[in-house]
Structure formats: structure tokens, C-alpha cells
Amino acid sequence: MVKKHERRRPLEYERKIEEGVFDAQTLGALRKLMKLNMLDAMGGPIAMGKEANVFTAFLKGEPRAVKIFRIETTSFKDIMPYIEGDPRFRFGGRRHEIVFEWAKKEFRNLERAYHAGVKVPKPHKVLRNILIMDFIGNGSEPAFSLNRIPTEEIKNPKKLHDKLLGYLKNLYKKAGLVHADFSEFNVLMKSEAEPYLIDFAQAVLKTQPNAQMFLEKDAGNFTRYFGKLGIKVDAQK
């Protein structure tokens, strides 16, 4: 059951409009999502970034993750390499339209990955610049990203290597996607045996013109990270 003070949290966030956390339109979209029974309370921040902020939210007491893309800082120039040649989306010239399509792109990419059996947060709903997905963590405590775990604390590097390599292969072969930004920063460790891939807005179809370049970049980051763990990686795999 959601506590009374949790139900009041959305009102508290109204005070933060002037601080740039939420604008009035985003706050209105959050209210609409509540009416759609996608969430009934907002919690605190999980991660704050240049292009998006991620918050904990709740639905009937169970945590969810809410990713809110920043309309004012998203650059069309920066995201063009990830959307060229993708027939699924039409990007207008207005900033808010670009951000809405970018959020929709992450939702659809997560859907493809999830249905291909890749461990990703299950997406539930996208509305305007807001994406609701599964909360990855233990209880209400969010999982750490892999980069925050000292390499010497990884108990079985080879097992982690094999699991993540399997994810990336399934992503490519079954989902038809290239992550395009794979690194230890975009892996959440619910446990060492259960890592999750995150941040899929930039993921591209493997038929996209820049897909091979992004695949090579992902392979390079994979090789670099596991090289630090003493594992020799054949990037061609």
C-alpha cells in the first residue's frame, strides 16, 4: 500500500518547476500517467544526466523507474547519427518533437530487446518525454551500474563476460539492434548473475547506415572493460 505522504509527492515536485526539474507540460504528462494507472506516486532521483533524469516512482507500492528526457538540452545534431536511415521514426524540426520521438525510440528499442530475451528494464508506457519501465534493484534500492563496482570485487569475470556477450549477440541476431553506447556505465548489476543493459534511445537497427560503426565501438568498449579484468576478448565474436 502506498503511504499517504507518498501520494503527496507529485505536489511537492510542482515546487521544483522553477528549478528546471520538471516543466509544466511534463508535470501535466505525469498527472495523465497517474490517471492511466501507470504510477500513483513519485519518489526520489536515481540518476541525473545532461539529456535525461531517472526517478523512482510507485504503482500500488511497487517501485518503477521513470525516465524524463530533458527538452531544453537535447541536441538534434548529437542524435542525428542514431536516427538517420531509421524508417520507424519521423523527426520534425521543433525541439520538443525531437525529444518525444527520442523517448519513443527508446521505448520501442527496449520492447524489441525485451522480447528477444535480453535482460533490459521492461518498458510499460511512453508519453511525450516520459518513459515508464521496470525498476531494477533490490526492494526500493536501485542497482549500481557496473562502473561503480571495483574490478577486484567481480567474483567471476568470465561468467559476467559470457552473459553480457550473450546479451549483445541476442540483441543483434534476435532483436536486430546494435546498442551503440555499450559500456560499463550502461550495465545495471541487480546481482553479478543478473546484469541488465540500459539506455537504449541511441540503439540502432542493424540495417541502419551507421550500425557497423556503432557495433565496432561497442565491441571495443567490451574488449577494453574485460581486458581490465584479465580476460582476452576476440572482438570478432
Catalytic residue list contains 134: no
Res. 236 pLDDT band, cuts 50 70 90: low
The full length of the chain comes to 237
DSSP 140: T
The active-site residue out of 78, 134, 162, 199 is: 199
CA distances in angstroms from 112 to 96, 166, 218, listed in the order given = 25, 16, 18
Say if CB 182 and CB 168 are below 8 A apart: yes
Q: What percent of the chain has pLDDT over 70?
A: 86
Q: Is the pLDDT of residue 235 over 80?
A: no
Structural domains of the chain ordered from first start: 4-140 (3.30.200.20), 142-228 (1.10.510.10)
pLDDT digits (tens, 9 = 90+) for 161-185: 999 999 999 999 999 999 999 999 9
pLDDT digits (tens, 9 = 90+) for 23-68: 888 999 999 999 999 999 999 999 988 889 999 999 999 999 999 9
Catalytic residue list contains 86: no
Burial of residue 213 (number of CB atoms within 10 Å: 0-12, 13-18, 19+) = middle
pLDDT digits (tens, 9 = 90+) for 190-212: 999 999 999 999 999 999 999 99
Res. 4 pLDDT band, cuts 50 70 90: very low
Q: What average pLDDT does range 8-22 have in this prediction?
A: 51
Res. 95 pLDDT band, cuts 50 70 90: confident
The active-site residue out of 40, 78, 162, 181 is: 181
pTM: 0.88
CA dist., res. 10 & res. 69, Å (int): 18
CA dist., res. 201 & res. 86, Å (int): 13
